[in-house]
Every structure is written in C-alpha cells, then in structure tokens.
Amino acid sequence: MQQLVLAAALLLADPSAGPAPLVSTAGTSYLTAVSIAADQPVKVSAVTGDYLYWQFPATAGQRPELAIDVALPAQGRTGDHAWTVEVFDGLRRRQACVGGEQSPVAETSATSVTLGCRLRQVRSWAEPWDGDPLPGTYYVRLSSTDLPEKDLGLPVEVSLKLTAPTGDTGADQGSLAAPLVPDNRPGKILTTPAPTVPAEPEEEYFAWVPDFSARWIWTASGGVLAALAGLIGFSWTRRRRV
C-alpha cells in the first residue's frame, strides 16, 4: 500500500514521468503535420494513397530513429505495394537515412511492411553550404509510392515509434543562433519587413578606361588594326613588275 501511495505521489509531483498519450492522427501536409515526441506511441488508421505527416523536435547530440510498421489489408490487394519514409529538416531539406529500410516493397501476399530511418547525429552548427542535420523541427512523411491503381483507398494501420538516443556530444563544437523552425502562420500577414541584402558592386574589367570614351577607343583601335591588316595583305598579294 505504501508503495502505491509513493508511486502516485511521484506522478503528481512530476507529470512528465507518466506515459505519453497515444497519437491517433496524422497531417496531410507540412502545415498540418501532427507533433510527436520521443517514445510517444503513434497509431493511425489511413488508406493507401495517403500522405501522412508528423513533426518532432530534435536537439544537438541526438540521433533520431524511426520505426514504422504498416498493417496491410488481407483482402482486396492486386499487386505489390512500395512504401517509403522521408525525413525533412526545418528548411524542408531531405535528410539522408543512415540506417533502416527506407523504401521496402510488400509482396501481394504480405500482411505488413516494416520501414525505418535513422538520421545522422544532430549537430550544434554547420557551414551555410552544408546539409547536416541541425537543431530544430523535423518532418516525417510516410507514403505508398508505387501500387496498382485498383488498390488505392484500401485501409491500413500505421504504427510509428520515435526514439532519440544521445550520441557523441563532443564530436563538434559551436552553437546555432536559432533552431530551424519555419514561420508557418497561414492567414496572418507578417508586419516585420524582410531584411534587405546590399547589392554587390559590379566588377569593372576596364576601370582604367573612362566610361564615355571606352567605346570610341575600341572602335578606333579596331579600325586601325583592320587598315594595317589590309595593307599587309595587299603587299603580300600584289603582283610585282619584272
């Protein structure tokens, strides 16, 4: 009895210690992606042909990993089904999966298909041209990419699990100014003006020639060269007198 009272007291003191609620929905685009957290159960009813979207936060040092199981209908299928899972960062850049079966194909007789994607470790900073994962919001898209047209609309059950173990936190050094989270507020007008980028001065290849006279100088030089070429050619081809 005392153990039960102690466990209840701990749950009241720390609500986050309890199990996360089940997520039973998914978005149909980036803007409607449903938020999930690590170790939170996800189970969604959908149909073949749907695009399912979720989003989750990731911090530096984590190695997010997705495990997805799709229960396929036992009847009504006429061919193989190809599925794929993709992960995008806050800038909508597709991140590479370094582990897991990202694009499996389920045979006609298969009753389920398993997908997985393990991302690279989230870095605390990166060069502007680099595509490494950075802290911020990540989007998951699950879809059936190739299947017979007659099989569109068949019911499926999707189970998803997200884990985010910590990797080598000393692998990189630095800090990111702000997480990569897009400003998605449909229907609202942003009053803050967009930052202006100063235009770079054009490189002047003929800075030593005045702008007004440059055309005339080149025209006159071309005329002189043409005249000299004509005189030389005439002297070479002229028939000499005996």
* Highest mean pLDDT out of 91-95, 100-104, 129-133: 100-104
**CA gap 124, 167 in Å, rounded:** 12
pLDDT at 228 over 80: yes
pLDDT at 91 over 50: yes
Please count the other Cβ atoms lying within 10 Å of the Cβ belonging to residue 32: 13
Retrieve residue 115's tokens.
């997908």
Please count the other Cβ atoms lying within 10 Å of the Cβ belonging to residue 66: 25
Q: Which residue would you say has higher pLDDT here, 176 or 19?
A: 19
pLDDT tens, position by position, 146-177: 999 999 999 999 999 999 998 776 655 566 66
Report the pLDDT averaged over residues 173-194. Answer: 62
Give residue 9's pLDDT. Answer: 45
At residue 117 the predicted structure's pLDDT band, cuts being 50, 70 and 90, is very high
pTM greater than 0.75 (yes/no)? no
Give residue 214's pLDDT. Answer: 64
pLDDT tens, position by position, 134-144: 999 999 999 99
Give residue 12's pLDDT. Answer: 46
pLDDT at 2 over 70: no
Give residue 44's pLDDT. Answer: 96
Q: Are 151 and 94 in contact (CB under 8 A)?
A: no
Report the pLDDT averaged over residues 32-51. Answer: 95
pLDDT at 1 over 50: no
Give residue 8's pLDDT. Answer: 45
Average pLDDT over the chain reads 81
Report the pLDDT averaged over residues 214-222. Answer: 77
At residue 209 the predicted structure's pLDDT band, cuts being 50, 70 and 90, is low
SS3 string, 189-229, reads: CCCCCCCCCCCCCCCCCCCCCCCCCHHHHHHHHHHHHHHHH
Report the pLDDT averaged over residues 180-202. Answer: 62
